[in-house]
Amino acid sequence: MRLTRRAALTAGAAATMLGTLAVVVPAPASASLAPSLSCAGAPTGGTVEGSLCVLAFGQTTAPNEYNVTIALVGSRSSGPTTWSVVAGSLPPGLSLPATRPGTTTMIVGNPTQTGTFNFTITGRAPSGPVVTPATRSYQITITTQGPPDKLLCDAAGDFLISGTCVLPDAIIGQPYQALLPTSHAAGGTLGVVSGSLPPGLSLPATFTGPGDTISGTPTDPGIQPNFNFTLQGTGDQGQPLYQAYSIMVDPDQPLTIVLPGSGSTLSPGTRETHNSVPSLGLPGARDCVSNLVAPGGLQST
């Protein structure tokens, strides 16, 4: 306890000394980050999919008023800003004001045509003698009514972490199948656009019904058992599908547990009770493993 306390006091004293000696050197007045365009359009935030910022969808069926805000971030100017579409085109019925006060603009209107529209916007704001433009690529999907088709991460064993859909683990040498459901369940196309599937697994380029399927029998992945990959394609009515995935490939090895202090080993399909943990120096203590169930029916209490 004394050693721990002394170490803590010593670390605290060092931190105080460093804090006292630290000198903050202000950045030159001219230094600033280059401005950029946001991907968080109000009222519905956009999502980054590869190099694109995918904005909220629109629809042609009334009520179909569309309104999304885009901001020029990092500019030292308070405006006004000038805006232009420099590549691609907005969905028919939508427009972008050429000049706006402040550092934001809006894509507004009433969509008149379904489809997926890719376009690039440039925003400029005066900042002293230099005007630095910011450019970003965007995408808007217009449907007849309701949200566009998309890949879901809700099949059995799936879970979503930071935008990546983690699929169930695969085991070397054992048949594997993972469903990739879509919201419209109406078929489409899919392909790997970055990363790779685990060796031995494949994905059909086209699918019908509720979704596509990754299947096969995984082989030894080598030193890297975790595979990250991104799928992209089209769903119902040609609407874009995009999702990042991850699959872990596990070795096909039986689980063996050596009970503490007893030297005995549990093999699959057996059950054994162990009431103390001598190796922890706690006579009479209950084993902390309770009702352990492992592949092959292994259980311990």
What does pLDDT average to in each consecutive run of 10 residues of the chain (301 residues)?
Answer: 39 43 41 73 73 91 92 78 94 93 91 93 76 88 91 94 95 96 94 96 95 96 92 89 96 71 54 42 40 45 43
CATH of residue 47: 2.60.40.60
177 and 215 Cβ atoms separated by less than 8 Å = yes
Task: Note down the domain range covering 135.
Answer: 36-143
CA distance 40 to 133: 19
Where a domain ends, among 92, 109, 143? 143
Where a domain ends, among 96, 116, 143? 143
Together in a domain, 44 and 112: yes
pLDDT at position 81? 87
CA distance 284 to 270: 23
Q: What token pair was written down for 209?
A: 């019904």
0.75 surpassed by pTM: no
pLDDT at position 299? 46
Number of domains in the chain: 3
Together in a domain, 239 and 301: no
Where a domain ends, among 250, 271, 289? 250
pLDDT at position 8? 41
